[in-house]
């Protein structure tokens, strides 16, 4: 759900911002960010169906001094689900592992007049950047906006119009100039986000180290999930190959510049018949996750197959997760309805002998009957 249009609604949410996030008045910024991260994770992973999420998103932005944006606030914006604009369609390409999150807002802070030796004065546009619950400030000249525009024109078929250059802006600093430039940036970001993409050029322009921030945010999100959704005795656990978890841990700990791991691969835990291999122990060969943690990793990295147990042993009987159980039920119902429809159709056409139905004569007779019926109706 988007931002409410009524100004009174915004004022009402801002007045009760602390209550919306259910935190004590005067809490630190770190506390506000931590609570909002947990709210987004619960909503994105289906742990809670929060119908008032947009109010909490507005409250978070108000308490964190972030201007409201004219866009829809989504809980899964904190997850690195956007692919690079430069990535290829090949899933095995390493560029497919480069991801960024969609929580990116820009706003104008102010304008500064500057001048280099032996040059005319110019204007620096101070831009406030909010990315993945982190804030910083960048300063950019119009020439840098123009260079970004030229670079994006070579990669995007459609791009918003860049405000034209004018000499009068070197002498005066009208506010509409800065507003138009920030609006230009916001439109491109929203255009790419709608297509589940992000631009490395824009990230460099805004000085966002998205790779480092991704590893930090994944570590913080995993730690939050361990608190709010721990593995309980008797609950369904999901097994993951230890080698993949080691790669992910090295990535979030930034050991030797490790890149993000590829898709989750549990194939080494199973034999050709889908049964667990012999002599496997935890944590040497596999580790276990809660349902929320598994869904978190599955949304980001994909892969599989899904291995579920009701105990922490891979040799325990297999159980179905709620999502897998729903999928099985849907498959069964669709198959039953398709078979029932085919049976009624054969019965209406007069074919009741299975051997005859599989013969070429039956197919020809069926086609002839259908043509006669079509001719009669016309």
pLDDT of residue 319: 78
Are residue 309 and residue 356 in the same domain, yes or no?
no
Measured N-to-C along each axis, helices 210-228 and 291-301 cross at an angle, to the nearest 10 degrees, of 160
User: Contact at 8 Å (CB) between 195 and 79?
Assistant: no
For residue 349, pLDDT beyond 80: no
Same domain flag for 200 and 314 = no
245/297 same-domain check: yes
- Inside any domain, residue 345: yes
Residue 164 lies in a domain: yes
* Domain-located, residue 73: no
Average pLDDT in the chain: 82
* Residue 71 placed within a domain: no
Nearest to 319 by CA among 354, 288, 348: 288
Domain C-terminal end among 206, 226, 246? 226
Please give the share of the chain, as a percent, with pLDDT higher than 70. 83
CATH number, domain at 115?
A: 3.30.1520.10
Instruction: Give the integer Cα–Cα distance in Å for 300 and 100.
Output: 10
Identify the domain boundary among 189, 206, 226. 226
DSSP 240-295: EEHHHHHHHHHHHTT-TTPPPP-SEE-GGGB-TTSPBPSS--TTTTEEEE-HHHHH
Residue that wins the pLDDT comparison between 98 and 327 = 98
At 104 the pLDDT is 92
| Cα 81 to Cα 78, 141, 298, distances in angstroms | 9, 31, 11
Which two structure tokens, joined as six digits, stand for 256? 């030797």
Query: 370 and 292 share a domain?
Result: no
DSSP 325-355: HHHHHHHHHHHHHHHHHHHHHHHHHT---HH
**Cβ-contact 225, 235 below 8 angstroms:** no
pLDDT in the model for residue 95: 55
**147 and 222 inside one domain:** yes
Q: What is the pLDDT of residue 11?
A: 77
In this structure, the number of other CB atoms found within 10 A of the CB of residue 203 comes to 18
Residues 189 and 218 in one domain: yes
Q: For residue 72, tell me if it sits in a domain.
A: no
Query: What are 288's strand-pairing partners?
Result: 239
Which pLDDT tens digit goes with each residue over 281-325?
Answer: 888 889 989 888 999 999 999 888 888 888 888 888 887 666 666
Per-residue confidence at 88, pLDDT binned at 50, 70, 90? Answer: low
Q: Which residue has the higher pLDDT, 281 or 357?
A: 281
| Secondary structure of residue 125 in the 3-state scheme | strand
Q: How confident is residue 8, by pLDDT bands cut at 50, 70 and 90? A: low
Domain identity same for 89 and 124: yes
Spatial separation of the C-alpha atoms in residues 181 and 145, rounded to whole Å = 8
CATH code (residue 29): 1.10.287
Give the pLDDT score at 98: 83
Q: What is the rounded average pLDDT of the residues 43-47?
A: 86
User: Would the CA dihedral through 116, 118, 123, 125 be positive or negative?
Assistant: negative
Asked whether residue 70 is assigned to any structural domain, the reply reads no
Confidence check: pLDDT of 355 > 60: no
What pLDDT band is residue 52 in, cutting at 50, 70 and 90? confident
Provide the residue range defining the domain that includes 337.
323-376
Whole-model pTM: value is 0.77
Same domain, 235 and 287: yes
Integer Cα distance of 83 and 282 in angstroms: 34
pLDDT at 341: 76
Residue 233 has pLDDT above 90, yes or no: no
Q: Please give the pLDDT value at position 205.
A: 95
Q: Band of the pLDDT at 1, cuts 50, 70, 90?
A: very low
Alpha helices in the chain (DSSP H): 7-15, 17-21, 29-44, 53-63, 142-153, 175-194, 200-205, 210-228, 242-252, 291-301, 322-349, 354-357, 360-377
pLDDT of residue 268: 87
Q: For 95-118, what is each residue's pLDDT tens digit?
A: 567 889 999 999 988 888 777 777
Instruction: Extract long-range pairs of 81-87: CB within 8 Å, 24+ residues apart.
Output: 81/196, 81/299, 81/300, 82/192, 82/193, 82/196, 82/197, 82/198, 83/196, 83/197, 83/198, 84/197, 84/198, 84/199, 84/200, 85/155, 85/156, 85/192, 85/197, 85/198, 85/199, 85/200, 86/155, 86/200
**pLDDT tens track for 187-225:** 999 999 989 999 999 999 999 999 989 999 999 999 999
pLDDT tens across 262-271, in order? 899 888 888 8
27 and 48 fall within a common domain = yes
Q: What is the mean predicted confidence (pLDDT) over 315-339?
A: 73
Lookup: tokens for 353: 């002998």
- Count of structural domains within the chain: 4
Q: What is the reported pLDDT for 322?
A: 65
Report long-range pairs for 14-22 (Cβ below 8 Å, ≥24 apart): 14/58, 14/59, 14/62, 16/59, 17/58, 17/59, 17/62, 17/63, 18/59, 18/63, 20/52, 20/55, 20/56, 20/58, 20/59, 21/56, 21/59, 21/60, 21/63
145-149, 314-318, 335-339: the lowest-pLDDT one: 335-339
Residues 268 and 364 both lie in one domain: no
Q: What is the pLDDT of residue 150?
A: 92
Co-location of 306 and 346 in the same domain? no
Q: Say yes or no: 348 and 219 in one domain.
A: no
Better pLDDT: 37 or 376 = 37
pLDDT tens-digit series, residues 122-139: 788 899 999 999 999 999
């Amino acid at each position: 759900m988007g931002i409410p249009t009524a100004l009174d609604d915004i004022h009402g949410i801002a007045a009760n911002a602390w209550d919306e996030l259910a935190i004590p008045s005067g809490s630190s910024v770190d506390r506000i960010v931590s609570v909002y991260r947990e709210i987004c994770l619960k909503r994105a992973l289906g742990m809670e169906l929060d119908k008032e999420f947009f109010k909490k998103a507005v409250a978070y932005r108000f308490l964190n001094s972030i201007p409201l944006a004219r866009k829809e606030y989504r809980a899964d914006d904190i997850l690195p689900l956007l692919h690079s604009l430069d990535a290829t369609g090949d899933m095995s390409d390493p560029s497919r592992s480069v991801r960024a999150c969609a929580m990116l807002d820009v706003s104008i802070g102010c304008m500064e007049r500057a001048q280099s030796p032996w040059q005319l004065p110019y204007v620096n546009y101070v831009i406030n950047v909010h990315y993945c619950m982190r804030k910083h400030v960048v300063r950019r000249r119009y020439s840098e906006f123009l260079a970004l525009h030229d670079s994006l024109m070579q990669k995007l078929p459609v791009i918003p119009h860049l405000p034209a250059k004018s000499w009068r802006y070197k002498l005066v600093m009208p506010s509409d100039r800065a507003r138009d430039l920030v609006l230009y940036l916001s439109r491109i970001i929203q255009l790419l986000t709608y297509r589940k993409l992000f631009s490395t050029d824009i990230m460099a322009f805004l000085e966002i180290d998205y790779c480092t921030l991704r590893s930090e945010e994944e570590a913080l999100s995993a730690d939050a999930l361990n608190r709010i959704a721990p593995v309980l005795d008797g609950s369904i656990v999901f097994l993951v190959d230890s080698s993949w978890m080691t790669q992910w841990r090295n990535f979030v700990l930034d050991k030797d510049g490790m890149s993000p791991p590829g898709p989750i691969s549990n194939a080494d835990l199973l034999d050709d018949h889908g049964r667990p291999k012999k002599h496997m122990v935890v944590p040497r060969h596999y580790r276990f996750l809660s349902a929320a943690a598994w869904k978190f990793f599955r949304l980001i990295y994909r892969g599989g197959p899904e291995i579920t147990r009701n105990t922490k042993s891979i040799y325990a009987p297999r159980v179905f997760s709620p999502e897998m159980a729903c999928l099985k039920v849907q498959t069964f119902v669709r198959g039953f309805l398709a078979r029932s429809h085919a049976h009624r159709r054969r019965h209406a056409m007069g074919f009741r002998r299975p051997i005859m139905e599989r013969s070429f004569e039956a197919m020809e007779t069926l086609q002839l009957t259908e043509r006669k019926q079509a001719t009669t109706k016309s």
